[in-house]
């Protein structure tokens, strides 16, 4: 039995708190004391235990509390991500907690009508923020830093001897020396002056600091990476040589690292496909300096003007990247498919490849549409066959209930000074779908293999939608006169029918967005569960170990399973940490996505600031008591505040998501196409103000 299970069982059976010494010499006596201590630390972080005093622990359920990370809303309330789901915390129940803190909370009775769980913070277990970025203002001998991140509530006070050279109006980074409490504000010391918020590059620096992203690799990590040879070297026993196999990569035109490649050949009754994934685990063993830094980052972050990679550039863009014309170590998922996309057999093994062609989505799409410009006749045949079998795989996935959302991704192009010059929209194409379907298929093959062999594993799960969120969607669908009204017990097929119905309608992207909002977030866990969005009974992330830490963990587990080494170090040392690693990766994934969105948002605001007074067409994407949010064609979103609607007195209909004029009866409703005028752009708040044109 794993040490984690032994310790948890003892804690739950105990009449009261247990000391670390009692645990180490009692139920966990057969394990090393250092492992027991580390296990207790992870049990506290994952919400299964609380440290009531130094080295003294109690199972959280015994105190009617749960533990998790708190995420604030800009309106002052928050939610705690706990094992049982998200718990609502009102603004008056925070007890000095800040956004991102790990807290212990006491659960209240379920809210009125049984719609959701509420609670209150009883203890801040671990602080997340050590620094805060904000706007400095000098008031006499006192400095006040107002956080730029509106999820951080309350100002930070700075003593007169801790200004760090900052002057009023500048953006600073303040190191916290005292955290807030119900009766006192936070205090700190100015550690860095970023400059004025209008200075080039400061806007993205603010985003980086707000989300606590790591921008530099420690020296020991860089040295460890530099020591890795560029060439693959000798091919060890058990690694298959696939260098003569025609292999291509297909990525965005501006991609710098390539962690997946494809080979495909026709077979008697269908196709044989090889999905080759960069073998990062060969170079980054568990517990190494590079690995410890990768755990902290958990993911690469793709900001509007830069990439913050999970691995040092020598690995991410060099040694591990599947660049054309060089030998690279990979993990290969080889599977045989019939012509309908059914996987009839598979093999998983380490390999070495040499990619023949580096292709990009735009080029592949152009070749398929014009049948011209192919890099070689062999590549043309491979890509055309790949298109056909990927379409078959996708058709089979949709038939079982998998979702195929339609969305656009804005790409903001910057000039040499970092100023936005234009926005292009990336939509799904045949070329992008080809890669997506191949990666989904490979991820499922690996997940099912590990499930069938009852191996320790990190899965990617996606739970069923929240019934309350589905009820809101039903109201919107009724307003749009959609044929499916009852989505209270929606299956993936229900969602897909809605997506298909919206396909040719003007509110297509809005409906897709609303459906996405109703779904819970996919996350990483160390146990098997289903994936609602893919209608999959077993799913994992295997295909991007250069930029996602869970994929690297899966590679290590798969290699150990294939070689029968799951019970041997270093894998056996990693297995007890899977729950914590999965949770940390989920948290950092959410933080990275928020940072990426914020970095695009600041540049969209900067771009729209050049168009004040101009008119644009957009669609109402959200309605509230204080106004209507309008999304423009370039994805920039702004607010038409009710105070600017001077032609009538408008009331908010919360059930139908619309504003209606009390005197004239005019309505502004969700999904309505409107014409607006840009009134102002508040860069500090990343807010675009609009009015009806």
- Euclidean distance between CA atoms 301 and 293, whole angstroms: 14
Q: Cis peptide before 570, with omega less than 30 degrees from 0?
A: yes
Could you give the 3-state DSSP secondary structure of residue 162? helix
Count the Cβ atoms, other than its own, within 10 Å of residue 330: 29
pLDDT digits (tens, 9 = 90+) for 480-499: 778 765 666 667 777 888 88
The first and second tokens of residue 570, run together, are 């270093």
pLDDT category at 116 given cuts 50, 70, 90 is low
H or E element that contains 391: helix 377-399
pLDDT of residue 486: 64
CA dist 513 → 116, 147, 269, 475, 576 (Å)? 22, 29, 40, 15, 38
- Euclidean distance between CA atoms 228 and 239, whole angstroms: 19
- Euclidean distance between CA atoms 526 and 4, whole angstroms: 13
pLDDT for 655 beyond 90:
no
Average pLDDT of every residue of the chain = 90
pLDDT of residue 487: 67
Name the residue with higher pLDDT: 239 or 109: 239
pLDDT category at 550 given cuts 50, 70, 90 is very high
pLDDT for 81 beyond 80:
no
pLDDT of residue 113: 43
- Average the pLDDT over each of 167-176, 194-203, 239-248, 366-375 and give the range with the smallest value: 194-203
The stretch 36-64 carries a mean pLDDT of 75
Q: Helix, strand, coil shares of the chain as percentages rounded to 5?
A: 35, 30, 35
pLDDT category at 405 given cuts 50, 70, 90 is confident
Residue 164 sits at φ, ψ, to 5 deg, of 65, 25
pLDDT category at 109 given cuts 50, 70, 90 is low
pLDDT category at 650 given cuts 50, 70, 90 is very high
pLDDT for 393 beyond 90:
yes
- Average the pLDDT over each of 268-272, 519-523, 566-570 and give the range with the smallest value: 519-523
The stretch 227-253 carries a mean pLDDT of 93
pLDDT digits (tens, 9 = 90+) for 265-311: 999 889 999 999 999 999 999 999 999 999 999 999 999 999 999 99
Task: Give percent of the chain above pLDDT 90.
Answer: 61
pLDDT of residue 309: 97
pLDDT category at 92 given cuts 50, 70, 90 is confident
Burial annotation 373-393 (CB, 10 A radius, 16+ → b, else e): ebeeeebbebbeebbebbebb
Domains of the chain with CATH codes: 3-62 (1.10.10.10), 64-126 (2.40.50.140), 131-196 (2.40.50.700), 219-453 (no CATH), 467-519 (no CATH), 612-692 (2.40.50.140)
Task: Give percent of the chain above pLDDT 70.
Answer: 96
- Average the pLDDT over each of 349-353, 383-387, 619-623 and give the range with the smallest value: 619-623
pLDDT digits (tens, 9 = 90+) for 137-181: 999 999 999 999 888 888 999 999 999 999 999 999 999 999 988
pLDDT of residue 84: 60
Tell me if 512 sits within 8 A of 407, measured CB to CB.
yes
- Euclidean distance between CA atoms 85 and 83, whole angstroms: 6
Tell me if 540 sits within 8 A of 277, measured CB to CB.
no
pLDDT category at 420 given cuts 50, 70, 90 is very high
- Per the listing, tokens 């806007």 go with 203
pLDDT of residue 645: 94
- Per the listing, tokens 């060089």 go with 326
List the one residue out of 324, 340, 228, 344 whose CA is nearest residue 280. 228
For strand 270-278 and strand 327-338, is the pairing parallel, antiparallel, or unpaired? Answer: antiparallel
List the one residue out of 105, 129, 238 whose CA is nearest residue 180. 129
The stretch 398-414 carries a mean pLDDT of 88
- Euclidean distance between CA atoms 95 and 182, whole angstroms: 6
pLDDT digits (tens, 9 = 90+) for 308-336: 999 999 999 999 999 999 999 999 999 99
Catalogue the E-assigned strands of 382-471: 408-414, 420-427, 459-461
Name the residue with higher pLDDT: 4 or 52: 4
CA dist 510 → 12, 126, 602 (Å)? 47, 38, 22
User: Which of 209-213, 444-448, 642-646 is the most confident on average?
Assistant: 444-448
The stretch 247-261 carries a mean pLDDT of 93
- Average the pLDDT over each of 11-25, 165-179, 206-220, 611-625 and give the range with the smallest value: 11-25
């Amino acid at each position: 039995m794993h040490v984690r299970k032994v310790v948890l069982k003892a804690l739950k059976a105990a009449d009261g708190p247990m000391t670390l010494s009692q645990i180490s010499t009692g139920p966990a006596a057969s394990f090393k004391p250092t492992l027991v201590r580390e296990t207790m630390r992870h049990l506290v972080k994952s919400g299964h235990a609380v440290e009531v005093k130094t080295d003294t622990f109690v199972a959280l359920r015994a105190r009617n509390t749960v533990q998790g990370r708190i995420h604030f809303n800009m309106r002052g309330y928050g939610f705690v991500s706990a094992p049982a789901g998200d718990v609502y915390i009102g603004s008056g129940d925070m007890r000095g907690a800040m956004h991102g803190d790990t807290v212990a909370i006491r659960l209240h009775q379920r809210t009125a009508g049984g719609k959701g769980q509420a609670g209150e913070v009883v203890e801040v277990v671990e602080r997340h923020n050590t620094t805060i970025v904000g706007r400095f203002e000098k008031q006499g001998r006192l400095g006040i830093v107002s956080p730029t991140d509106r999820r951080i509530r309350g100002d930070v006070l700075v003593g007169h001897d801790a200004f760090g050279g900052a002057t009023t109006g500048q953006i600073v980074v303040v190191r916290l020396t005292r955290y807030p409490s119900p009766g006192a504000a936070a205090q700190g010391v100015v550690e860095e002056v970023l400059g004025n918020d209008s200075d080039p590059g400061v806007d993205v620096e603010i985003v980086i600091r707000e989300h606590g992203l790591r921008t530099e690799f420690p020296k020991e990590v860089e040295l460890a990476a530099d020591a890795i040879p560029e060439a693959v070297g000798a091919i060890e026993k058990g690694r298959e040589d696939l260098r003569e196999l025609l292999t291509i990569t297909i990525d965005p035109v501006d991609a710098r690292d390539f962690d997946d490649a494809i080979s495909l050949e026709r077979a008697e009754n269908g196709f044989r496909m090889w999905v080759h994934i960069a073998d990062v685990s060969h170079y980054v063993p568990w517990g190494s300096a590079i690995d410890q830094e990768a755990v902290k980052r958990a993911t690469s972050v793709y900001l509007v003007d830069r990439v913050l990679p999970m691995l040092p550039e020598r690995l991410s863009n060099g040694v591990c990247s599947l660049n054309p014309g060089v030998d690279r170590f990979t993990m290969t998922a080889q599977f045989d498919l019939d012509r309908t996309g059914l996987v009839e057999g598979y093999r998983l093994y380490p390999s070495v490849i040499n990619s023949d062609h580096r292709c990009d989505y735009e080029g592949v799409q152009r070749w398929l549409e014009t049948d011209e410009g192919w890099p070689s006749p062999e590549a043309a045949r491979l890509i055309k066959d790949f298109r056909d079998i990927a379409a078959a795989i996708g058709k089979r996935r949709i038939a079982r209930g998998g979702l195929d959302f339609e969305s656009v991704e804005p790409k903001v192009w910057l000039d040499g000074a970092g100023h936005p010059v234009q926005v292009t929209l990336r939509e799904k194409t045949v070329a992008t779908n080809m890669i997506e379907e191949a990666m989904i298929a490979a991820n499922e093959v690996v997940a099912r293999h590990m499930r069938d062999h009852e191996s320790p594993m990190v899965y990617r799960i996606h739970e069923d939608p929240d019934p309350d969120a589905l009820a809101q969607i039903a109201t919107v669908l009724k307003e749009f006169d959609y044929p499916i009204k009852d989505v209270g017990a929606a299956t993936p097929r229900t969602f897909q029918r809605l997506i298909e119905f919206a396909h040719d309608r003007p509110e297509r992207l809005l409906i897709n967005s609303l459906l996405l909002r109703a779904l819970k977030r996919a996350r990483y866990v160390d146990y098997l569960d289903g994936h609602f969005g893919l209608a999959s009974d077993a799913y994992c992330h295997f295909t991007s170990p250069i930029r996602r830490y869970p994929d690297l963990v899966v590679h290590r587990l798969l290699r150990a399973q294939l070689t029968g080494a799951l019970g041997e170090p270093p894998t056996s040392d990693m297995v007890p940490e899977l729950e914590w690693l999965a949770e940390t990766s989920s948290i950092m994934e959410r933080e990275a996505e928020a940072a990426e969105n914020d970095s695009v948002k600041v540049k969209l605001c900067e771009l729209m600031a050049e168009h004040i007074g101009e008119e644009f067409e957009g669609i109402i994407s959200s309605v509230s008591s204080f106004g209507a949010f309008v999304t423009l064609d370039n994805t920039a979103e702004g607010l038409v505040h009710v105070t600017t609607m001077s032609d009538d007195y408008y009331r908010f209909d919360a059930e139908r998501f619309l504003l209606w004029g009390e005197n004239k009866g005019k309505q502004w409703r969700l999904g309505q196409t409107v014409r607006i005028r840009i009134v102002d752009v508040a860069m500090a708040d990343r807010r675009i103000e609009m009015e009806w044109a």
